[in-house]
Amino acid sequence: MGGRLPFADRLRPWLQERLYSTAYHWNYRGNPQHAYQLRTRVVLDLLELRAAPGWPRLLDVGCGDGRFLYDAARFTRAHGTDVSPRAIALARGRVRAELHACDAERLPFADESFDAVTLLDVIEHVPDASEPHVMREAVRVLKPGGRLAVSTTSDRSSVEWKHFRHYSVPRFRALFGGLEDLKLVGLVPYFPTLRLWMALPLAGRLFSGRIRCCAPEVGQTLIKITRKPRGLP
């Protein structure tokens, strides 16, 4: 049945686009920066790209303003896509990567083009009807034996209007049907009031350890690494 989308569904893309009035991922300080650095380190370590021969090809779907690509481009041939032309414009000039403004449901790449694909804090911004198509496209462009990394907010994290959903561990696992399960990691991120504590020198040293890996069942952020088996389209 046709008709307009509900107000909340129309509001979420607008809220996300507003964030890209600045390159906000590049302005992290204190605890948000610790959280970003830990997530990036976990993802890059589990993708095992540093040890790969040559310069492996990596695609970051939903790359935003390119902050993760900046780190990944040090040892990969980095590519990024985002549905927001504004985000891509912010990434250009900051990152040495091939960048495309496009929908994650229709990636402009041939089958089996990349050694690794990442969707980092992206899938929760995708409407329910688009979720399986986005995952299918990410797998399509991944080479057999290549690794897929997906991170998202869990149902233990605070609700954000710009997200279509927060994932339970079982629902998150269900995204990866047909892929070889390698690792599922939880992260304990900052609490909202912890930003204030982190501004204090002594408290910052005491509380920075709260940004740590944990069991997925208690994590407020989930990171999953899978591998594409041979013969999977």
Distance, in Å, from the CA atom of 140 to the CA atom of 134, rounded to the nearest integer, reads: 10
- Residues 89-119: tens digit of each pLDDT: 999 989 999 999 999 999 999 999 999 999 9
Nearest CA to 61 out of 115, 113, 9, 135 is that of: 135
In contact, 221 and 152? CB cutoff 8 Å:
yes
In contact, 228 and 197? CB cutoff 8 Å:
no
The letter for the amino acid at 62 is G
In contact, 28 and 87? CB cutoff 8 Å:
no
Domain boundaries, the chain: 7-227
pTM greater than the 0.85 cutoff:
yes
Distance, in Å, from the CA atom of 89 to the CA atom of 79, rounded to the nearest integer, reads: 14
- Residues 122-172: tens digit of each pLDDT: 999 999 999 999 999 999 999 999 999 999 999 988 778 788 999 999 999
At the top level of CATH, which class does the domain 7-227 belong to?
A: alpha beta
In contact, 112 and 141? CB cutoff 8 Å:
yes
